Amino acid sequence: MNVQDSSVPRPEHPRPQFVRPRWLSLNGTWQWERDPSDSGLERGLVDTELTGQIVVPFAPESELSGVADPDWHEAVWYRRRVELPEDWPEGDRVLLHCQAVDHDATVWVDGTEVGRHRGGHTSFTLDLTDALDGRRSATLVLRARDPRHELLPRGKQATWFANTHCNYTRTTGIWQPVWLESVPTAYLGRARITPDAAGAFDLDVPVVHGIPGQRVRATLTDEAGDVVSAEVPVGLQLTPHLRLDVPRERQRWWGPEDPHLYGLSLELLDADGGVLDQVGSYAGLRTIAIHGHRILLNGEPVFQRLVLDQGYWPDGLMTAPSEEALVRDIELGLAAGFNGARIHQKIAEERFLYHCDRMGYLVWGEFPDWGVSGQGPAGHNQKPGPTFVAQWVEAVERDYSHPSIVGWCPLNETHQFLHDRFTVLDDVTFAMYWATKGMDRTRPVIDASGYSHRVATTDVWDSHDYTQDPEEFARVMDGLAEGRPHTNTGENTGDGVEGAPPYSLPYAGQPYFCSEYGGIWWVPEHQRSAEDATNDEGESWGYGNRPADEEEFYSRAEGLTRVLDQNPLMFGYCYTQLTDVFQEKNGIYAFDRSSKLDVARVRSIFDHPSAYERADDHPSTP
């Protein structure tokens, strides 16, 4: 791995599960310019020095970018001179990787367009080799369009000017790392790693520009050295497939108590056994299964004590200011008694998932589907549908091999205030659900978190409920034992359409959890005194009435949580939320990650034995 200059922001390798030795971070200062009328192409910005500067990978709305302009940006331009390292071999191909650009990106090299990508939350790769035409230096230009009035999956980005309620400052343009990679003429594509209950890994390893006679070799390692290796010829299958059977005495099952990761080396060999390409990776041996109302990890019930994590920072917005900030959020969750997170309305960056993998932190992968009228993937037309599906399958493919991901959540709180609201909503929901199932048969999929459960066979059923009185909350949740769990309805959202159908199809006995609850509005006295009083009482918010004092917070949080973790039919919960975010003051921690509460007391609430784990109607460990 290249050693990066300490002055480069976010210098670490952006893709820890697929690492080559020759790569170059392009984070740092770029030329930058606003293009408010999206006329830059016609005005010649492809071939022109730009007027401003920005620090990549931070969005122009953020302080860390050096721009700090939260206004709307219809289009923005980036420009940078790139010098390839001297040790990159002549004849290698040069790949440009953009981890996330919001929303519509076009890239030019010395004035030649090399590719486009739509999707503000997913990664893309472009081959620059032909455009470079043997040159070892070139000018890279990127235009990012983020049209204000287009119905796009934006997550928690506000679709009006100011931050309000649970919507936050927008993100435009480059907001995750940009980097170059040197690869040989024939090279390995991103591997799919699938563990199974027999204690083996199935590997699907694409080969780009491969030819017959070449072979793919995979070697699994642990602390004692090589565990198992396998080879397969190139050209016999569209995608070379290998199986690594781990000897029973070397099997260690990944989980929160022992997040063991095997090392994985992938090599492309020529006909004589010479190494053409080599990639470093890792893998976790773990299984997920559904057994009645249970979700089992490695054959055992593990109660999922999840916390809602919005993934925002005061100075970086959706971009973590540092590697340490990513790790810190996991540490804060664990310290508060949670064993995982629902990364909410955001596709987590790969380095965050890497740390979840190595720290045993459970994750539900979610798509940032908010950003359209009526909370759903379509308004009066079907245009957003293909956009949603295309970006979501990119996300699932990218993150498929991370052992920390234990479930997929394509949609969140979908509902449409229209008589025919389900005509389009059903199409998009079905497409995203079944596309996910087709791509991944190893994890449970929930069709939509809260509100519109429109797929009868959805693997998981859930609801969102922010009732603040524990006794009333218990009455809301007590129908699960009779097979009629709480479901979100139009009454909860003020949908007054006469004769409208229920949001959800009938419950069919799936595993169930309350995937949003709590959200207790709390600002401690020492933080309250530093705020403007009108902001604290007026613009800031949380669910329900603010507790009179800290003791009432603990009492309320414990009462609500006991309703869920003492229900033997509930496989988990998700508490809202890990940190405050701007005006939303319902976090366990403050927005700057400082303490709001006694963390030891908070931990005693959430790290509590569950009735679900004490039950014995589950199969034995593999």
Write out 172-219 in H/E/C secondary structure.
CEECCCEEEEEECCCEECCCEEEEECCCEEEEECCEECCCECEEEEEE
Segment 83-92, tens digit of pLDDT:
999 999 999 9
Which of these CATH numbers, 3.40.1230.10, 3.20.20.80, 3.40.47.10, 3.40.50.300, describes 289-614? 3.20.20.80
Residues in CB range of 317: below 8 A, 6 or more apart: 58, 59, 61, 62, 168, 169, 171, 175
Task: Tell me phi and psi for residue 176, to 5 degrees.
Answer: -135, 165
Query: Do strands 262-269 and 275-283 pair parallel, antiparallel, or not at all (unpaired)?
Result: antiparallel
Q: What is the mean pLDDT of the chain?
A: 91
Cα–Cα distance between 261 and 343 in angstroms, integer?
22
Q: What angle do CA 220, 301, 601 make, to 5 degrees?
A: 105
Q: What's the token pair of residue 272?
A: 């004589």
Residue 535 pLDDT: 46
Which CATH architecture best describes the domain 198-286? Sandwich (2.60)
Segment 420-476, tens digit of pLDDT:
455 557 888 899 999 999 999 999 999 999 888 989 999 999 999 999 999 999 999
Asked whether residue 190 carries a pLDDT value surpassing 70, the answer given is yes
Contact 440, 401 (CB under 8 A): no
**CA 537 to chain CA centroid, nearest Å:** 33
241 vs 382, which has greater pLDDT? 241
Q: What's the token pair of residue 597?
A: 């509460």
Q: What angle do CA 295, 220, 230 make, to 5 degrees?
A: 110
Residue 491 pLDDT: 47
In three-state secondary structure terms, 335 is: helix
Strand spans (E) along 14-132: 23-25, 28-34, 52-56, 75-83, 93-98, 101-102, 104-109, 112-118, 124-127
Asked whether residue 524 carries a pLDDT value surpassing 80, the answer given is yes
Cα–Cα distance between 379 and 429 in angstroms, integer?
14
Residue 428 pLDDT: 85
Residue 576 pLDDT: 97
What's the DSSP call for residue 620? P
What's the DSSP call for residue 344? T
Q: How confident is the model at residue 165 (pLDDT cuts 50, 70, 90)?
A: confident
Contact 614, 570 (CB under 8 A): no
Asked whether residue 326 carries a pLDDT value surpassing 80, the answer given is yes
pTM for this one?
Answer: 0.94
Cα–Cα distance between 221 and 227 in angstroms, integer?
5
CA-wise closest residue to 370 among 381, 358, 379: 379
Asked whether residue 525 carries a pLDDT value surpassing 90, the answer given is no
* Stretch 102-116: mean pLDDT: 97
Residues in CB range of 479: below 8 A, 6 or more apart: 485, 486
- Would you kindly state where each structural domain of the chain is located, as residue ranges? 23-183, 198-286, 289-614
CA-wise closest residue to 520 among 582, 467, 581, 450: 467
Residue 374 pLDDT: 52
For CA atoms 181, 183, 185, 188, the dihedral sign is negative
Residue 4 pLDDT: 46
CATH T-level topology, domain 23-183: Jelly Rolls (2.60.120)
Segment 143-158, tens digit of pLDDT:
999 998 888 899 999 9
Residue 617 pLDDT: 55
Cα–Cα distance between 557 and 544 in angstroms, integer?
12
CA distance to 318, 323, 349, per residue, from 298 (Å)? 33, 30, 26
Straight-line distance from the first to the last Cα atom of the chain, in angstroms, rounded to the nearest whole number? 37
* Stretch 250-265: mean pLDDT: 98
**CA 223 to chain CA centroid, nearest Å:** 30
Residues in CB range of 320: below 8 A, 6 or more apart: 10, 311, 313, 326, 329, 349, 352
Query: Do strands 207-208 and 187-188 pair parallel, antiparallel, or not at all (unpaired)?
Result: antiparallel
How is 518-574 classified by DSSP, letter by letter? E-B----HHHHTTS-HHIIIII-B-BSSPPSSHHHHHHHHHHHHHHHHT-TTEEEEE
* Stretch 51-58: mean pLDDT: 98
Segment 172-185, tens digit of pLDDT:
999 999 999 999 99
Segment 10-43, tens digit of pLDDT:
999 999 999 999 999 999 999 999 999 999 999 9
Burial label for 531, CB within 10 Å (0-12, 13-18, 19+), is middle
Segment 270-314, tens digit of pLDDT:
999 999 999 999 999 999 999 999 999 999 999 999 999 999 999
144 vs 531, which has greater pLDDT? 144
